[in-house]
Structure 1
Amino acid sequence: MVKNILVLTGSPRKNGNSEMMADAFIKGARAKGHIVTKFETAMKNINGCKACNTCWSKGSACSFQDDFSELEPLLESADVIVFVTPLYWSGMSSQIKAPIDRLYAYVSPNCKRPLKIKESVLMICGEGNEDGMFNGAIETYKGIIDYLKWNNLGIITVPGVADKGDIANTNALEKAENLGMSISFTC
């Protein structure tokens, strides 16, 4: 079965290292025949969850209107979600974290359209080379997928990339493409 894969990118820097990694993953997944949609969260106006508990009260997942409404149908049709982000202060960028926080609507008791996502991926790159620098982001990701009962299909971390294009001097793009190609047709 062909999978519908949603790739969420979280970098405000166009054509940067994390976007290159996302594009390599997409190339691999499409080569295998999957349907892939890329959604650039940093290029959208998406606020975080306001904890108002009014989810679904106006017919959509969130009662506050912003660009999250563009993401809702993509989330609701996805089988696999891929988070691609630069590392900011030991975590994911705020641009990708805001829509992740809004997923609360899909686990709220009054959810009207549950997600069918069963699998996920995290790809993250950062400037430093310190041991453990990705631990905060990885633990956050693991907490999210554990809570949502998603299967982790892979985590790629890429240290030592700061300037645009630095990632091309690593094997990360090949790893990302291979990970995209490894997405199976069964859950």
Structure 2
Amino acid sequence: MSKKILIISASPRKGGNSDLLCDEFMRGAQEAGHDVDKIRLSEKEINYCTGCCSCVGGRGTCVQQDDMPEIHEKILDADVLVLATPVYFRSMNGQLKTFIDRICPIYSMIRGKDVYFIVSAAGGKLPVDSTVQSLRVFTNCLSGITEKGTIAVTGIWDAGRVKGTRTMEEAYMAGKNA
């Protein structure tokens, strides 16, 4: 059965390591017949949450005028969410955190989705583990989420260095089996 998959790439570098892993996930998912949309947060206008609380009450709207309403619709429509980030100081980067903060108007409406995490780190296992934990803090606020897997590469810094690693194959296979 075909699924709608939404990939959120927080890499500020097009062709960065986490972004390339997203592309491999997408390639596998498309080959499996799934409908895949990839959003690069660096190419979107997403303002910071101001804490005005206008969205409180489940109306699903924010007073800010940016690209988030379009992304909200795609999130609600998706069967599978893929959250991808490079590691910054043992956590997700600012682009992904800003995006997550702006989910507030619809977070109570996000239900029954499969979720994958994609993480790239110059450091080792500890930065990946702490980043995945910070992503779980977010997904634990949602209802009926099933964590399907983490695709992580460590020990790389330069953009594109993930090419040729077994992690690229892991990303492809995760997409193919999503």
* Common fold: TM-score over 0.5: yes
User: 1:10, 1:96 within 8 Å by CA — same for their partners in 2?
Assistant: yes
Aligned to 2:129: 135
User: 2:7, 2:81 within 8 Å by CA — same for their partners in 1?
Assistant: yes
Aligned-residue RMSD, C-alpha:
1.8
Aligned to 1:111: none
What is the CA deviation profile of residues 43-82 of structure 1, one whole-angstrom value per residue up to 9, with x for unaligned ones? 222123222211189x762111112133122112111110
What is the CA deviation profile of residues 102-129 of structure 1, one whole-angstrom value per residue up to 9, with x for unaligned ones? 1111136xxxxx2355111100001123
In the aligned structure 1, how far is the partner of 2:79 from the partner of 2:174?
16
How many residues of Structure 1 are paired with residues of Structure 2 in the alignment? Answer: 176
In the aligned structure 1, how far is the partner of 2:63 from the partner of 2:173?
39
* Superposition map of 1:22-101 within 5 A: 22-55=22-55, 61-101=61-101
| Structure 1 stretches of 4+ moved >6 Å | none
Aligned to 2:138: 144
Please give the secondary structure, in 2, of the residue aligned with 1:7.
strand
Compared CA separation, residues 122 and 49, structure 1 to 2 (3 A): same
In the aligned structure 1, how far is the partner of 2:30 from the partner of 2:56?
33
In the aligned structure 1, how far is the partner of 2:141 from the partner of 2:72?
20
- Residue 154 (structure 1) aligned with residue 149 (structure 2): yes
Aligned to 2:167: 172
Aligned to 2:12: 12
In the aligned structure 1, how far is the partner of 2:107 from the partner of 2:15?
33
In the aligned structure 1, how far is the partner of 2:136 from the partner of 2:110?
18
Fraction of identical pairs, as percent:
32
* Superposition map of 1:86-125 within 5 A: 86-107=86-107, 114-125=109-120
Compared CA separation, residues 35 and 76, structure 1 to 2 (3 A): same
Please give the secondary structure, in 1, of the residue aligned with 2:54.
coil
Q: Which amino acid aligns with 2:149?
A: G
Structure 2: gaps (5+ residues):
none
Q: Which amino acid aligns with 2:158?
A: D
Structure 1: gaps (5+ residues):
109-113
**Aligned-pair CA distance for 1:15:** 1.2
**Aligned-pair CA distance for 1:136:** 2.2
